[in-house]
């Protein structure tokens, strides 16, 4: 684990700002560990989102018995894992027969996210919002 400020030498090297050291043997002191666990958790989650291993979308589902269950089944059949789901009836628009399901889902990568979106749409779940 590296504290943010301790990663500065590595960032400088990677960004090319130390061109005068190119081709030379260089040792970087990267230390720390004085990072708040809550901040570390947020950093990890942001990394998962960036890598396509965590995604969020809002799907339009039927407000009939089984609508939410069917959505969950399509997600599972696509090989994704639901981390969180919020079923929203009140703010889903004027159609009282349709609801929004805000889903946070664990995936393998960006290609898996695209395949999941295609599967949802193929099974009649239009995506209202994708993040």
Domain boundaries, the chain: 4-47, 52-130
Listed in order, strand segments (DSSP E) in the chain are: 54-62, 81-88, 98-106, 127-130
Range 52-130: architecture per CATH = 2-Layer Sandwich (3.30)
Per-residue pLDDT of the chain (131 residues; tens, 9 = 90+): 667 777 888 888 889 888 888 888 988 887 777 778 898 899 899 999 999 999 999 999 999 999 999 999 999 999 999 999 998 888 778 888 889 999 999 999 999 999 999 999 999 999 988 77
| Cα 45 from Cα 36, distance rounded (Å) | 14
* pTM passes above 0.95: no
């Amino acid at each position: 684990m590296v504290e943010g400020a301790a990663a500065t030498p590595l960032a400088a090297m990677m960004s090319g700002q130390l061109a005068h050291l190119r081709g030379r043997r260089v040792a970087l002191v990267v230390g720390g560990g004085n990072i708040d666990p809550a901040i570390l958790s947020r950093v990890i989650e942001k990394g998962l989102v960036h890598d396509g291993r965590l995604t969020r979308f809002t799907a339009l589902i039927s407000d009939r018995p089984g609508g939410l269950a069917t959505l969950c089944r399509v997600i599972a059949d696509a090989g994704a894992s639901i981390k969180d789901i919020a079923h929203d009836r009140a703010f889903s628009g004027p159609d009282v027969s349709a609801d929004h399901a805000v889903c946070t889902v664990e995936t393998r990568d960006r290609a898996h996210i695209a395949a999941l979106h295609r599967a949802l749409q193929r099974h009649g779940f239009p995506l209202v919002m994708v993040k």
